[in-house]
Structure 1
Amino acid sequence: MPLKKKRPVLHAVTVLALLGASGYLTVELRKDEQAKTPAAQAVIDEPNLENGSGQQSGKQTWERLKNPARTVLRGAGGQVLATFTDHARTATLRGPSRTFSEPANTASKVVTEDWVRLMPEPWTKGAEKEQWFKDWFKEYYGSEEDDIFAIAFQYVQGAPVKKDSEGIPYAGDAVFGPFKPDGVDRLEQNDFYDYLGIPYTFRNGTTLSPRQDRYRALDCSGFMRMVWGYRARYPLMATNSSGDGLPRTADGMARSKTGVDIIKIQGPAPWYTRPTNIDVLQPGDLLFFKMDHRTGNHMDHVALYLGLDTEGHRMFISSRKEQNGPTIGDKGGVSRIDGNGFYAGLFRSAKRL
């Protein structure tokens, strides 16, 4: 049941500049009523950034934890308000409750207070004392600006189209990709610039051009690159080997030194071993799956971990062929990594960016 607001929250007009090789300046349109998240409920405008042991002391405290090495901010009652993992830019902040669902394809839904955001720098022990973090935290803790989850759901079936100032759609219902000549399987390797239909220049100077038949298409790794890279501005590699940042494919991401390996690939190739302990996962982690014997030792699929659904199962969102686009749906296998379902049985590793 929603809580009453304890104080009003003033929001600045937020502009997200997304600059591609075409010279287009993509501006996020925040006035779309359909894209708004629920109103904030209780937000601490100026948190107490003092160090502490995590004990219930009547004030917010910072605490160090292991496996993985991370820092958590606890509230006066000992509850976790935010988590920051060493060497990762991903931060999970507690905020207003939201519901994510896709009724056209599943009865499952996720009701969460987790807001996943990217910090400007990777976290290091003691960063809570640094000015860059204090400035960032003051701006985003309690903010209702689109986070990683909100962005991801802007590409599911029926998601409204959003256009930049040049009229280019940067969000809206995405497909996985066009059919292969056999009319059964779908073509892969559909990246974010294919969806956009504009050329893109990466940080290493490489410019890649879209293919007309892939317009509005995002394969599983292309979907993650759209959400984390083009929209949230995480650095992107042009391929798996050129440049720096998030690689092009699921296997490239899984094996990259980028971010932090939360669950490492284990067991004998090519199928490896299903993890026995997945309690270390945190909302926002990238999940990797081994699904196809034809790809040798490669990881074949990548997804975004959302946390627990309303039935207590660990749920994810990904772009897949069966549903033809981003989904939390059940077609081709329920979007869960616990139990004995299709994806649960093929889950292999996880990374925190």
Structure 2
Amino acid sequence: MKIVIVGNYNEKKAGANFYATVRKLANGFTRNGHAVLSYSDRDIARSASAWGFGRAGVRKANRQLVDVCRDFRPDLIVSMHADQIANDTLREIRGLLPGLRIAAVNLDPIFLPENPPRIRRLADVADITFITTAGETLAQFATPSHRVAFIPNPADRSIETLECFAHENQSFDLLCTIGSEKGTPWRANAMRALKAAVPEARYGFFGIDGQGPVFGAAYFDAIANASMGLNLNRSDDDYLYSSDRLAQFAGNGLLVFVERTSGYGDLFGEDEFAFYEGPGELAEKLRHFLAHDGERQTVAQKGHAKYHALFNERIVARFIAEATFGTHKAADYAWPTNVYGG
């Protein structure tokens, strides 16, 4: 099958987002035997405008995508936060390629006010949308002509290459990274409260208290220098939602602390993740693993192995392809494969 993946490859960051999900899925489709063409709508729009962005650049990105699809003739377009591409452009491409299927991938939490309108905009032209939240809440985005399903954040062994479980005496006992505390001050407060409750731990907390966020190779350096990671999402009340931090932490072999309300206890055991409920249990478990580093390594290794086994880039890409064309079998996947609508 021929696939065009349209998304933000963020070339302006000069490779700093090498671990982005759009790149992992491109790898997954390719490793599954498909011919993949990557199209970075924002980079093309930026390069076509003297001011970095503008109507001329956006028109160029849309026009060029039509030309690319006319020449490449894909069977499937995967749109991943391709905000510069208009619905009319996708309709035009459908007119050129009557058998074309269009899948949207949305990695943002659905509780962000700005995200549901994005999902509904593409619902007008996409056959199916994949969202990193599971459960009945997805039904709100389904229509008779548009289906919705869950996907986990994929890990990729060619990207998540670290094996932190194999090492001792890292610089940080616990790593937690957020962009900043501006939008979710409660996360920064939770991090400070944990430091106060367990002062003996060595913390790599980025994005708070003057310690800026980390990206690119510096981010992976921080992971390499840690033994455990706190997967602190903006909310843990939506079933199986997580940012891609979970894939990066578990995929690189950290022992990952995961809030029980996230629902990941349905897929992973207590011997694979460090599950907790509330700040008291979080502090208690952190103290436990500080005192039992061998157990930390064992649990982290099991979590790492299972995450790569269940949620690797090839399996997630295969589900996207099969669910889009209606050929997937629930027994082949570890996560909820309910498809709503259609």
TM-score, normalised on structure 1?
A: 0.28
Identify the structure with the greater strand proportion. Answer: 1
TM-score, normalised on structure 2?
A: 0.28
